[in-house]
Structure 1
Amino acid sequence: MSERSEVSDGSVAVPTGTRRFRRSALLGAVVATALGGGAILAACGTGGQGAAAAGPARLSVADSYIPLPPAGGMAAGYLTVRNDGGQDQLVKVTSPGAESVTMHRSTASSMEQVASLDVPAHGSLQFARGGAHLMIMGWEKTPAVGDELELDLTFAKSGTISVKVPVKELTYRPGQS
């Protein structure tokens, strides 16, 4: 005669011993596998994204121009920094042809100087009218349409990139003829 006992929830009577042990062991194995597998998948997903964002930045500069400033005046500079790699940060802009170059961001009611600007992983940093822009002051020589000003863009991780930025008509708008 087989000995019977009640399962902890009180609903089923099963033989004492092996069945109860097998059921709880099986349930424990299923739970452990699910939790372990979920942790592994979560780690893979996070690691993949983190690895891409943590990799080296691959930067290029496009669409650069400086609208012709008034004689002896300051000028704005516009360009796009494209990034096909990991995140970086633009921390400084200088020019051998100007006393100073500062980074600014326009808001609805004002313009503020900023110390640095983020260049997102697999994204771009755009300097455009009404947004982030460069202020170029103390020109070495009075610029004319067609001149180029060298700008040295220094990034936190990628070092310095030098670009020659053309001076355009004051009314120039990229993409418009």
Structure 2
Amino acid sequence: MSACGAGGGSGAAAPSPAASTARPAAGGDAQPDKGSAARGDIQISGAWMPEPARPDVGAAYLTIRNSGEEDDALVGAATTASQTAEIHTTKTADSGASVMSEVEEVPVPAGGTARLEPGGYHLMIMGISDTPAVGDTVTLTLEFAGGTEVEVDAPVLERAQGR
């Protein structure tokens, strides 16, 4: 078990103009741009990393769309932020406490979507040596069971901004 909920950081990532740009949302509030990328049948959107609460541990969130006719699964991840990135999930224990643990994969059905979001599946980034700040960008490399690898830049945002 890891300290998933603690939030973490990332490595030596340079500030990104995309991380600091914002677009008006319904209601007039500015929403930060989040990372997106695509390769083959896999599209990544809404990639972001909350500003780490601890200097050595962080999390990243995103949405995966599989436009293909075959089921796929996220099976691995790497990041510029650290040497260790794992796929985790959050579950509620019988006691009512949230428990985070590593999982082997996140299923992404054919024509379907999988969301990595607070309180559910997420990427756990551990062993961060250079904690990123708001405005920095962390590059995530996502590996899929079908052989696809997608690289996406995730801006580091204030925790409240990312939601």
Q: TM-score w.r.t. structure 2 length?
A: 0.67
Give the root-mean-square deviation of aligned CA atoms. 1.5
- Offset at residue 76 of structure 1 (A): 1.3
Cα separation, 1, equivalents of 2:63 and 2:54: 26
Give 1 or 2 for the bigger CA radius of gyration: 1
- Give the alignment partner of residue 169 of structure 1, picking from 135, 143, 158: 158
Equivalent pair of 2:50/2:162 in contact (CA under 8 Å): no
What's the secondary structure of 1:72's corresponding residue? coil
Cα separation, 2, equivalents of 1:82 and 1:132: 15
- Give the alignment partner of residue 116 of structure 1, picking from 102, 105, 120: 105
Cα separation, 2, equivalents of 1:114 and 1:172: 27
Aligned to 1:146: 135
What's the secondary structure of 1:102's corresponding residue? strand
- Which amino acid is 1:128 matched to? E
User: Equivalent residues in 2 for 1:68-83 (5 A)?
Assistant: 68-83=51-66
Which of 1 and 2 has higher RCO (CA within 8 Å, sep 6+)?
Answer: 2
- Which amino acid is 2:61 matched to? Y
Aligned to 1:104: 88
Equivalent pair of 1:153/1:161 in contact (CA under 8 Å): yes
Q: Which runs of 5+ in 1 are unaligned?
A: 1-56
- Offset at residue 135 of structure 1 (A): 0.7
Cα separation, 2, equivalents of 1:171 and 1:73: 20
- Give the alignment partner of residue 91 of structure 1, picking from 67, 75, 92: 75
Aligned residue pair count: 118
Cα separation, 1, equivalents of 2:75 and 2:54: 29
- Which amino acid is 1:97 matched to? A
Equivalent pair of 1:60/1:82 in contact (CA under 8 Å): yes
Q: Which runs of 5+ in 2 are unaligned?
A: 1-39, 94-98
What's the secondary structure of 1:171's corresponding residue? helix
Equivalent pair of 1:99/1:140 in contact (CA under 8 Å): no
Equivalent pair of 2:83/2:127 in contact (CA under 8 Å): yes
Cα deviations by residue, 1:93-128 (Å, 9 ceiling, x for unpaired): 011331211111111122121011111110111001
What's the secondary structure of 1:98's corresponding residue? coil
Cα separation, 2, equivalents of 1:94 and 1:138: 12
- Which amino acid is 1:148 matched to? T
- Give the alignment partner of residue 146 of structure 2, picking from 141, 157, 164: 157
- Which amino acid is 2:73 matched to? Q
What's the secondary structure of 1:97's corresponding residue? coil
- Offset at residue 68 of structure 1 (A): 0.2
Percent of pairs identical after alignment? 35
